[in-house]
Amino acid sequence: MLSLKLTGIHLKNPLMLAAGIMGTTGGSMKRIAQSGAGGLVTKSIGVEPKSGHGNPSMVEVDCGYLNAMGLPNPSYKNFQQEIDTAKESGVPVIASIFGGCALDFSQIAGAIHADAFELNVSCPHAHGYGAEIGTAPALVEDITHVVKNVADVPVWVKLTPNVTNIKSIGLAAQKGGADAVVAINTVRAMAIDIDSGYPILGNRFGGLSGRAIKPVAIKCVYDLYEALDIPVIGVGGISDWKDAIEFIMAGAQAVEIGSAIGNNINVFNEISSGMEKFLSEKEWDLEDIYGMAHRL
């Protein structure tokens, strides 16, 4: 009852592993598949191996987590074997990729085999640009377009919420040919250790994830659903089945789950059975609740 076709990919349920969470090794992704995920998004993979920012790279805050991993990854040259291992689980594997320019993205997408690509346009090191790539509509459109040209699988574009107007970025992705958008990446944030005055993260600041950002993500999904013709995939702060339902009502066709896995590796199974119970009690199916908030 939870299965769906998302940009042409069959998912047994609309619950996927979010990028950057237990997604660096084939073994860890397989484990998440075994605990009920309908799809697996890998760690974001770049052109060269990268060790990321120094520790502390993640810390728990009041209502979520703050992280600045710095995109550690073994590079696409070492990653196909991990995807292949993950694929043994029988669940679709979506390769998250990042780069500093369109060329980086197309180089990776041209070399990697996966069921779809998720473009992480939140890389802060855009070649020749000061800010994140994902804040400039023209760049997002260009990168999407270039990847669409080399990829023969669906291309999703993952958006940052740290912009004045997320709709304009979503529209740029759509214009570039994206098959779906994913919202949201982490929210720019910071924490300071008051005993010493030091910023806690090695990178000084980072991105907020977890419960704290759910209402922010819901609003982004809601806005993107209104603005776009392509599907929206929701992510941000989902930790139980109610959260997943809320995202779908806001207009997400499927969702991704990240931080919640830390304390509950079984979160996928729990959410899918919770959703099934809720939907059958209400005598609704996924289609009924998809975008429901817009119709009321």
Partner 1 sequence: MKPVNAEITEVVSETPTIRTFFFDRSFGSEPGQFVMAWIRGVDEIPMALSYNNAITVQKVGSATSALFELDKGDSIGIRGPLGKGFDRKPGHILLIAGGVGAAPLAPLAENAASDGIKVTTLLGARTKEELVFKKRFERAGDVIIATDDGSEGIKGYVTQLIDNTEYFSQIYCCGPEIMMKKVLDKILPSKAQFSLHRYIKCGLGICGACCMDGLRVCMDGPVFSGEALKKSEFGIYRRNECGERVKV
Ligand X SMILES: Cc1cc2nc3c(=O)[nH]c(=O)nc-3n(C[C@H](O)[C@H](O)[C@H](O)COP(=O)(O)O)c2cc1C
Q: Which residues are catalytic?
A: 123
Question: Rule CB under 6 A: which residues touch ligand X?
Answer: 18-21, 43-44, 58, 65, 67, 69, 71, 96, 120, 158, 185-186, 209-210, 213, 235-238, 257-260
Q: Is 28 in the site for partner 1 (CB under 8 A)?
A: yes
From partner 1, ligand X, a copy of itself, none, interface partner of 4 (C-beta below 5 to 8 A by class): none
From ligand X, a copy of itself, partner 1, none, interface partner of 157 (C-beta below 5 to 8 A by class): none
Q: Find the helix packing angle between 137-150 and 166-175, rounded to 10°.
A: 30
Q: Is 125 in the site for partner 1 (CB under 8 A)?
A: no
* Options 44-52, 77-85, 149-157, 210-218: segment touching a copy of itself (CB under 8 A): 210-218
Q: Which is nearer to a copy of itself, 119 or 249 (CB)?
A: 249
Q: Binding partner 1 by CB under 8 A: which of 200, 230, 254, 255?
A: 200
**Smallest separation (angstroms) from partner 1 to the CB of 29:** 8
Q: Is 227 in the site for a copy of itself (CB under 8 A)?
A: no
**Smallest separation (angstroms) from partner 1 to the CB of 10:** 24
Q: Is 265 in the site for a copy of itself (CB under 8 A)?
A: no
Q: Which is nearer to partner 1, 230 or 261 (CB)?
A: 261
Q: How many CB atoms lie within 10 A of CB 58?
A: 18
Footprint on this chain of partner 1 (rule: CB under 8 A): 20-25, 27-28, 30-31, 34, 43, 49-52, 54-61, 65, 67, 69, 72-75, 78, 191, 193, 195-196, 198, 200, 202, 258-259, 261-263, 265, 296
